């Protein structure tokens, strides 16, 4: 089927750039109507002060074959999220897929800085943006999602449950935020499963987001120029790869088999057979363990 999600309605929260944008576009490419939210619009920027907007993402969804609808929303404000969900209910009468990709913490965490030396206000703000927003959004949106059987909730995080259980991630606040989102999916799986819906945690690999490309001074069309400085960046993937993972899950009639699980873009690519935009199938989390963390030279042979 060219549009397996035609007639389905999705809410992707946190789509201004990165994984959220990739997920929204791929859901659109599968025919879904996708409500896209965030704080940066063509009229107003968030503290990120970057050019990407939710309207741009909505346009990309529509160009891909779906219907993109941009709704400016601060997901820390329950009233704004309630208004968003009410609008979806009024306009569509259903919600089939909820993706919580809200983050906003890049400018707030300090690499390899212990808790007692980290700026406390920034750390607490990070937890509010990365954890509280997900809880607020699910609280407001799940009653609508549960109106019809087969709904899917995707909690987007960084790292699989297995990897994060054994590895300290950046610092106290970052580690806690990513672990919390993993646990959210586990808990929601217990609450949604008996009610006919599915919840999963999903991580991309080393993401070639707009922010990451800028940090390395490259673009998507010349990203390999960064490999001389950062050799393991060879395992990286586009945001559309994790988007294809979500689209595959949303179209799977047996998606309930993943309920409560921690999943990765690379792992799901093996399961469903999709590829990244270049036709490759990067498996970053296996590569990190077996190559990068093991101290071996960068070599993606057998990993993409």
- The count of structural domains within the chain is 1
Query: Does a structural domain hold residue 297?
Result: no
pLDDT, tens only, 204-262: 999 999 999 999 999 999 999 999 999 999 999 999 999 999 999 999 999 999 999 99
Query: Does a structural domain hold residue 183?
Result: yes
Query: Does a structural domain hold residue 165?
Result: yes
What is the domain range of residue 50? 9-220+238-283
| C-beta of residue 216 within 8 angstroms of C-beta of residue 236 | no
> Which residues does the chain have with pLDDT short of 70?
1
Query: Does a structural domain hold residue 247?
Result: yes
DSSP structure string for 66-92: SEEEEEE--TT-HHHHHHHHHHHHHHH
pLDDT, tens only, 172-190: 999 999 999 999 999 999 9
Helical packing angle, 133-145 and 172-192, nearest 10°: 20
Query: Does a structural domain hold residue 302?
Result: no
Q: Domain containing 117 — which CATH number? A: 3.40.50.720
Query: Does a structural domain hold residue 168?
Result: yes
pLDDT of residue 1: 53
pLDDT of residue 221: 96
Query: Does a structural domain hold residue 92?
Result: yes
- Overall size of the chain counted in residues: 304
> What phi and psi, each to the nearest 5 degrees, are found at residue 13?
-95, 120
pLDDT of residue 280: 97
| C-beta of residue 150 within 8 angstroms of C-beta of residue 107 | no
Query: Does a structural domain hold residue 3?
Result: no
């Amino acid at each position: 089927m060219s549009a397996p999600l035609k007639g389905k309605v999705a809410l992707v929260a946190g789509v201004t750039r990165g994984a959220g944008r990739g997920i929204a576009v791929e859901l659109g490419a599968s025919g879904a109507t996708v409500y896209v939210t965030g704080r940066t619009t063509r009229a107003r920027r968030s503290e990120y002060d970057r050019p990407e907007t939710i309207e741009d993402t909505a346009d990309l969804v529509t160009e891909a074959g779906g219907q993109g609808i941009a709704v400016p929303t601060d997901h820390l404000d329950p009233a704004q999220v309630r208004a968003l969900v009410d609008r979806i209910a009024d306009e569509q009468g259903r919600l089939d897929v909820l993706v919580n990709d809200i983050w906003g913490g890049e400018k707030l965490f300090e690499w390899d800085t212990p808790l007692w030396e980290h700026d406390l206000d920034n750390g607490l703000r990070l937890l509010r943006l990365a954890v509280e927003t997900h809880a607020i959004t699910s609280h407001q949106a799940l009653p609508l999602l549960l109106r019809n059987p087969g709904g899917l909730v995707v909690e987007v995080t960084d790292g699989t449950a297995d990897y994060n259980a054994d590895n300290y991630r950046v610092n106290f606040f970052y580690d806690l935020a990513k672990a919390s989102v993993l646990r959210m999916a586990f808990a929601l799986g217990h609450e949604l499963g008996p009610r006919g819906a599915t919840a999963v945690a999903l991580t991309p690999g080393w993401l070639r987001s707009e922010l990451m490309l800028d940090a390395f001074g490259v673009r998507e069309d010349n990203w390999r120029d960064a490999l001389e400085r950062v050799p393991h960046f060879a395992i990286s993937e586009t945001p559309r790869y994790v988007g294809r993972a979500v689209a595959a899950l949303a179209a799977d009639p047996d998606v309930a088999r993943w309920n409560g699980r921690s999943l990765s873009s690379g792992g799901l690519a093996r399961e469903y057979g999709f590829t990244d935009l270049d036709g490759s199938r990067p498996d970053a989390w296996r590569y990190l363990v077996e190559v990068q963390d093991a101290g071996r030279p960068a070599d993606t042979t057998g990993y993409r």
